Amino acid sequence: MAESRLRSRNWFGRNDLDGFVHRSWIKAEGFSERMFDGRPVIGIANSWSELTNCNAHLRQVAEAVKRGVLSAGGFPLEFPTISLGEVLMKPTTMLFRNLMAMDVEECIRAYPLDGVVLLSGCDKTTPAMLMGAASADVPAIMVTGGPMLRGMWGQEEIGSGTDVWKYWAERRAGRMSEEAWCEMESCLSRSAGHCMVMGTASTMASMAEALGMTLPGNAAIPAPDARRLALAEMSGRRIMEMVREDLKPSRILTAPAFDNAIRADMAIGGSTNAIIHLVAIAGRAGVHLPLTRFDDLSRSTPFLVNVRPSGKYLMEDFFYAGGLPAVLKELLPLLHLDALTVTGRSLSENVAGATNHNSDVIRPLAIPISSEGGTVILTGNLCPDGAVLKQSAASPHLLVHRGRAVAFEDHRDLHARIDDPHLPVDETSILVLKHVGPKGAPGMPEWGAAPIPHKLLKSGVKDMVRISDARMSGTSYGTVVLHVSPEAAIGGPLALVRDGDEIELNVPSRRLTLRVSDQELDRRRAGWKPRAPEFTRGYGKLFLDHVLQAHEGVDFDFLRGGTPVRLEDTAGPSHS
Ligand code: FES
């Protein structure tokens, strides 16, 4: 790209008062005149935070990116973004994903950046950055922080979340001692990085790679592995070339790229959260992505990756087996081969040399774990706009099931009554949880995997059908119907379910049916009233006023699609 076309020249290349001010004040950081000689300015958007343990090592990653940018003749400038720490942030990071996306978009647009390297890791930080970068549409490449090393508890390998939920159920059932539980706490998260099962962070890192927004192999390299820093350095070098090539997200985030990502999601048994995030990212890129597309592709994409919570291994094993490039190579007959990526080459060219080193971790396409993808989309009178179920993490005997509803009005009600010995529930019952969707909770927290009632746990019940308008942690498992849309808080049919109603789940036919007559549902609907809003001011009110439903990606209505602002025109006087 000719120097005159660089956005940064609108700030640093001027010979007027503004140019003086822009250069002079930045020189306060000790930069020499050389940095203003017309070289590309590369922003490093860093979601580092000590409140986000998964991203706490990203300053080291940023240094590696800087090395790459400097060695390629660029001017790197690191800047912080909001960070969303999955385990500490309440009520849920999902309430703030769109806020982070706005932060990323507006910083890219408002500052003199010719290209940006996005550093993410924990669950929501990856989609938020991709959403913001898609809207800003300045050349962008992502480097995720990588998964932690596997947890080791004595000789047992334990995975983030997945094994915690498993052993918590054992603890509640009285089959695990307090001492063992405490000991496990220190053995689980033993290195830098994000959760090391195929939870939401690993899934979204894989989605970023399958979409073409990272260098090949990025998703699975463990956070402490030296090769992650080497990849970060190479990403710093590559963004310089992308600026010259004017390779923007709008050229990468195309409909074929989303198809490829969905295929990859189904093959890896990815988190259900990926569906919401992919729909949201597509919405920013102007790509129409209905839930039906996920189900269409799920039916014809084999499930290949044997990693928890849907399989046996952990992300470290996935990396040693070949990581996502090996999966994509297996999937080549099903992919859009020409989809452009940040390398400037197609996805198929990127993975042509990939090797599958362990066919038990990454199954060959001809010998899959199952012939269908990990996630399915349900429809029916209980979820007119769709619902999601991760069949790869569900119990086979419950995939076709009829049972009586045990309904909880909200999360508080659930926790007040779930362990009540008099709760009228048995193993055939279906637990229905309302008011935990985008507007209901609000923020659509990961409360969908409701606990099994204590009295059933004690008798050995490990799974039940559970239905809600919430999300579920990507590390969780069970026969859990999620993202019911429209949600209860806006009067969706879920709001009308009562104790004792019969519900039928039929995964093979993709149906979720409330077996109550239309007349009775109309009668209940006539008596239904919405709850008072949880927020009446601030960001919470903005969220409630503008958030879309689960099948629309839970983005804000005013952030989707549209013509990007012409960034070249945005630099002007900024002082008074
Ligand atoms: Fe950050 Fe799991 S808590 S990825």
390 Cα to the center of ligand 1, angstroms: 19
Q: Which atom of ligand 1 is nearest to the CA of 52?
A: 1
Instruction: Tell me whether residue 454 is exposed, middle or buried, using C-beta atoms within 10 angstroms of its C-beta: 0 to 12, 13 to 18, 19 or more.
Output: middle
Mean pLDDT of 511-528: 98
Residue 447 has pLDDT above 60, yes or no: yes
CA–CA separation, 489 vs 449, rounded Å? 19
**DSSP assignment string, 351-367:** HTT---S-TTTB--TTS
Mean pLDDT of 444-457: 94
Tell me: cis bond preceding 91? Omega within 30 of 0 counts.
yes
201 Cα to the center of ligand 1, angstroms: 6
Residue 576: what pLDDT?
A: 44
199 Cα to the center of ligand 1, angstroms: 8
Residue with the smallest CA separation from ligand 1 atom 1 is 122
pLDDT tens, residue by residue, 206-225 = 999 999 999 999 999 999 99
Residue 327 has pLDDT above 90, yes or no: yes
Test site for ligand 1: of 194, 198, 308, most ligand atoms within 8 A of the Cβ: 194
455 Cα to the center of ligand 1, angstroms: 31
Residue with the smallest CA separation from ligand 1 atom 2 is 195
Candidate ranges 155-169, 235-249, 552-566; pick with highest mean pLDDT? 235-249
Candidate ranges 173-177, 371-375, 530-534; pick with highest mean pLDDT? 530-534
Residue 562 has pLDDT above 80, yes or no: no
46 Cα to the center of ligand 1, angstroms: 16
Q: 5: pLDDT confidence band, cut at 50, 70 and 90?
A: confident
Residue 29: what pLDDT?
A: 98
87 Cα to the center of ligand 1, angstroms: 7
Q: Which residues does residue 376 pair with via DSSP β-bridges, in sequence order?
A: 389
Residue 58: what pLDDT?
A: 98
Residue 303, classed as helix, strand or coil, is strand
Test site for ligand 1: of 83, 90, 122, 475, most ligand atoms within 8 A of the Cβ: 122
Mean pLDDT of 33-60: 98
Test site for ligand 1: of 195, 202, 204, most ligand atoms within 8 A of the Cβ: 195
Test site for ligand 1: of 48, 119, 123, 472, most ligand atoms within 8 A of the Cβ: 123
Mean pLDDT of 422-451: 96
381 Cα to the center of ligand 1, angstroms: 34
Phi, psi at 38, each rounded to 5°: 105, 5
417 Cα to the center of ligand 1, angstroms: 29
Out of 171-175, 302-306, 359-363, least confident range: 171-175
Residue 566: what pLDDT?
A: 53
Residue 4, classed as helix, strand or coil, is helix
Residue with the smallest CA separation from ligand 1 atom 3 is 86
408 Cα to the center of ligand 1, angstroms: 28
pLDDT tens, residue by residue, 266-317 = 999 999 999 999 999 999 999 999 999 999 999 999 999 999 998 999 999 9
Q: Which atom of ligand 1 is nearest to the CA of 54?
A: 1
| Contact assessment for residue 184 and residue 157, using Cβ atoms and an 8 Å cutoff | no
524 Cα to the center of ligand 1, angstroms: 40
CA–CA separation, 210 vs 341, rounded Å? 9
CA–CA separation, 482 vs 472, rounded Å? 7
Q: 2: pLDDT confidence band, cut at 50, 70 and 90?
A: very low
User: How confident is the prediction for the chain on average, in pLDDT?
Assistant: 95
195 Cα to the center of ligand 1, angstroms: 5
- Which residues sit with their C-beta closer than 6 Å to ligand 1? 54, 86-87, 122-123, 160, 194-195, 199, 201
Residues near 441 by Cβ (< 8 Å), separated by ≥ 6? Answer: 91, 92, 411, 435, 447, 470
Percent of the chain with pLDDT over 70: 97
Mean pLDDT of 182-195: 95
Query: In 10 A of CB 519, how many CB atoms?
Result: 8
Residue 374: what pLDDT?
A: 86
Q: Which atom of ligand 1 is nearest to the CA of 86?
A: 3
CA dist list (Å): 193 to 15, 48, 52, 126, 365: 45, 12, 10, 13, 30
Residue 569 has pLDDT above 50, yes or no: no
Q: Which atom of ligand 1 is nearest to the CA of 55?
A: 1
Percent of the chain with pLDDT over 90: 93
Residue 477: what pLDDT?
A: 86
Q: 4: pLDDT confidence band, cut at 50, 70 and 90?
A: low
Q: Which atom of ligand 1 is nearest to the CA of 475?
A: 2
Q: 390: pLDDT confidence band, cut at 50, 70 and 90?
A: very high
CA–CA separation, 65 vs 215, rounded Å? 13
CA dist list (Å): 506 to 197, 275, 317, 376, 399: 28, 20, 34, 11, 6
